[in-house]
Structure 1
Amino acid sequence: MTAQAFPLTWPDSWPRTTSPAKSQFKTSLTAAIDNVQGSLKRFSADSGKKVENVLVSSNVSLMERNPKDAGVAVYFTWDGISTCIAVDRYQRIEENLQAIHHVIEAERTKLRHGGLNLVRAAFRGYAALPPPNSGLSNPWEVLGVKEGATTSEIEAAFREKAKKAHPDHQSGSNEQMAKLNAARAELLRRKA
């Protein structure tokens, strides 16, 4: 999956909210964008690690500030970890952006009280999402199935490979698991 600013690129393994709610946030779109940018800058300064490759993905265009799908996904790299924080809980773009701002501020709180290792652990969890550019050239090869494999063959191959690729396994990692998740999602999307 390659993330793009428009239209919304939602992480494949992240379920969507079916009934967005009203929020208590009182902010404009411009203020919410500024808040996210400011939080990322402060988080970078607090951690001593660069936040790079920031990409905000949404369905906002110049002529439609409040699209039907108000989800927002913020992709970035921090401390070598490809990260995505995605929120579609609320009805308006600015509310979802403001929620992302608060998530980043919560990570700053973890940093102050729990230290860098606690935040790295949390970001590795975010990293389990497919990164913006997973380099997935051949999903059949990643899962070890033939082109045209059935849904059950895809699922079985995924489960088998996930046993060793999962970060909890001695030889596994977030990157391996993200690649498997992306391959599975792509092949199932092609089957649909």
Structure 2
Amino acid sequence: MTTAYPLQWPAGRPRTDRYRRENGKFDVTFTRARDNIVDEVRLLCGGRWATDPNIVISTNIGLRRDGLPLAGQRAPDDPGVAVYFTYKKRQMSFACDRWLKIEHNMQAIAKTIEALRGIARWGTGDMLEAAFTGFTALPSPGAVRHWREVIGVGPEVRDLTAIRSEYRRRAAQHHPDRAGGSHDAMTELNAALAAAEKELS
């Protein structure tokens, strides 16, 4: 499960060192950059007649009710942005943290998707498929999942009582003594609860 908050960086993608980040040349607001990503993904996936591409814009910015990043917040220390969506039944991911401002990283992703739409319009289909090969979202072996994903709670849940309740429900399912349960699943679940308690207490 991909989380919109906090930032879930694609597994296996290198990060830009903080001291290597640059000032962007984009003249764009946060709201416009966010909306540009949504528009470009929808156009790439077939416009308004396409099936829902399940867009997730993952950042360290809090969320609106519809799950998109909320404008007008303090800039986070980590300006990275990762965008996930479904294209032709494949999970795709684009990520950028080259620029110092989060809206510039979002606009860079929107411009990249716009360029790929140009390949689709003016190139051949195999060129677009080849270009997309590097953007397919694949979990890396042994990647540590965020505790919210393991326990199964969204970013709006901050109450430890509710989190512990969901933990107990999942522990009953994944216990090694139950059919389908395993020691690995319980170890991951226990580590997730510990991480949640550390973060929220």
Interval of TM-score (by shorter of Structure 1 and Structure 2):
0.5 to 0.7
Matches within 5 A, 1:59-74: 59-61=60-62, 64-74=73-83
Give structure 1 regions of 4+ aligned residues with deviation exceeding 2 angstroms. Answer: 48-51, 61-65, 184-187
RMSD (Å) for aligned C-alpha atoms: 2.3
CA spacing shift, 1:51–1:83, aligned 2, 3 Å = farther
Normalized against structure 2, the TM-score is what? 0.61
Structure 1 residue corresponding to 2:126, chosen from 117, 126, 147 = 117
Normalized against structure 1, the TM-score is what? 0.63
Calculate percent identity across the aligned residue pairs.
35
C-alpha distance in 1 between matches for 2:45 and 2:112: 14
C-alpha distance in 2 between matches for 1:50 and 1:107: 19
1:67 maps to amino acid: P
Q: Deviations over 1:67-115 (max 9, x none)?
A: 0100000001101121000001111111000000100011011112212
1:35 aligns with 2:36: yes
Structure 1: tracts of 5 or more residues without a match: 131-177
1:183 aligns with 2:141: yes
Matches within 5 A, 1:84-95: 84-95=93-104
- Aligned partner of 1:21 in structure 2 is 22
Equivalenced residues, count: 135
Matches within 5 A, 1:161-176: none
**Residue 49 (structure 1) shift:** 5.8
C-alpha distance in 2 between matches for 1:51 and 1:108: 17
- Aligned partner of 2:112 in structure 1 is 103
C-alpha distance in 2 between matches for 1:97 and 1:73: 8
Structure 2: tracts of 5 or more residues without a match: 63-69, 146-187, 189-201
SS in 1 for 2:58: strand
